[in-house]
Amino acid sequence: MNEYIKIFFIILQRDLTLVFRNKAEFINPLMFFVIVIILFPLAFGSDATLLKQLTSGIIWVTALLATVLSLETIFRTDFEDGSIEQLILARYPLTLMVSAKVTAHWIIFGLPLIFIAVLTGFILSLSSQTMFALFFTLLLSTPVLSLIGAITVALTIGLRGGMLLSLLILPLYMPVLIFSMLAVQNATAGQSISAEIYFLAGILVLALTLAPITTAAALRIRLS
């Protein structure tokens, strides 16, 4: 068991080191996120009440798009340089190593995304309850985005284009988006958001348990 934890952290550290040496890879999707959000006030004009209604939705949809852009980095280089074969042939369960890689993706992308989202919400003058809901929904959802994303990336890696990836993945993100936006709307109206938060937490637990197994199976299929 101890050995398994050790392997988990070795793979995690490997992926984090790689990303910090190639910073563009993780900064670019985050920059995309910020820029697209800034485009909306430019397009809609400076009508404050209209913007207030739209901002949380804009932040959420843009977060989904930025996630799709960032997903390929989970497996692309491993696929190109043959590391993925070595992970499959290692003496440890592939599920474990896939979990480590997805965790790395969340730390690199999901975590900064939450803070940037809250920061942009602040700049676009969201109310404090809305920001609170935004923060919590993103905190529970970004791991789900990475986990479900990993399955789809594993299936499509090496095939042509990221377009297929976005077509496959965005429908899978809908439940998360629906519950998150419900929570944000309730919070804005001053109501309780616990029901939606429980639902999102449930989805997270489900994804956390099943997604790594599915991703491992998808990788094996992709390579055979």
Partner 1 sequence: MALFKVNNLQCVRRDNILFQGLSFKLEDGGLLQIDGVNGSGKSSLLQMCIGLIQITEGNISWNQTDIRDCRYQFQTDMTYFGHTNGVKTGLTALENMKVMHALSGFKSEVDYSLILKQIGLAGMDDVLLSRMSAGQKRRVGLTRIFMASSKLWLLDEPFNALDKNGKKIIEQLIVSHCKAGGMVIFATHQTMEIDGYPLQHIHLG
Q: How far is the CB of 123 from partner 1 (least distance, A)?
A: 34
Q: How far is the CB of 188 from partner 1 (least distance, A)?
A: 44
Q: How many residues bind partner 1, per CB under 8 A?
A: 25
Q: Which of residues 42, 91, 161, 163 is near partner 1 by CB under 8 A?
A: 91
| Nearest residue (CB) to partner 1, 17 versus 125 | 17
Q: Which of residues 32, 92, 106, 135 is near partner 1 by CB under 8 A?
A: 92
What are the tokens at 134? 């935004």
**Residues 120-139 interacting with partner 1 (rule: CB under 8 A):** none
Is 43 a binding residue for partner 1 by CB under 8 A? The answer is no
**Residues 10-39 interacting with partner 1 (rule: CB under 8 A):** 10-11, 14, 17-18, 21-22
Is 5 a binding residue for partner 1 by CB under 8 A? The answer is no
SS (H, E, C) the chain: CHHHHHHHHHHHHHHHHHHHHCCHHHHHHHHHHHHHHHHHHHHHCCCHHHHHHHHHHHHHHHHHHHHHHHHHHHCHHHHHCCHHHHHHCCCCCHHHHHHHHHHHHHHHHHHHHHHHHHHHHHHCCCCHHHHHHHHHHHHHHHHHHHHHHHHHHHHHCCCCCHHHHHHHHHHHHHHHHHHHHHHHHHHHCCCCCHHHHHHHHHHHHHHHHHHHHHHHHHHHHHHC
Q: Which of residues 31, 47, 86, 195 is near partner 1 by CB under 8 A?
A: 86
Contacts of 35 (CB under 8 A, 6+ apart): none
| Nearest residue (CB) to partner 1, 21 versus 160 | 21
Q: How far is the CB of 114 from partner 1 (least distance, A)?
A: 26
What are the tokens at 59? 């932040």
Is 224 a binding residue for partner 1 by CB under 8 A? The answer is yes
Q: How far is the CB of 189 from partner 1 (least distance, A)?
A: 48
Which of 156, 200, 165 is closest to 68 using CA atoms?
Answer: 165
Using an 8 Å Cβ cutoff, are 64 and 173 in contact? Answer: yes
| Nearest residue (CB) to partner 1, 10 versus 27 | 10
Stretch binding partner 1 (CB under 8 A), from 7-15, 120-128, 185-193, 198-206: 7-15
Contact mark string toward partner 1, 157..176, x via CB under 8 A: --------------------
Using an 8 Å Cβ cutoff, are 154 and 162 in contact? Answer: no
List contacts with partner 1 (CB under 8 A).
Answer: 3, 6-7, 10-11, 14, 17-18, 21-22, 77, 80-83, 85-92, 223-224
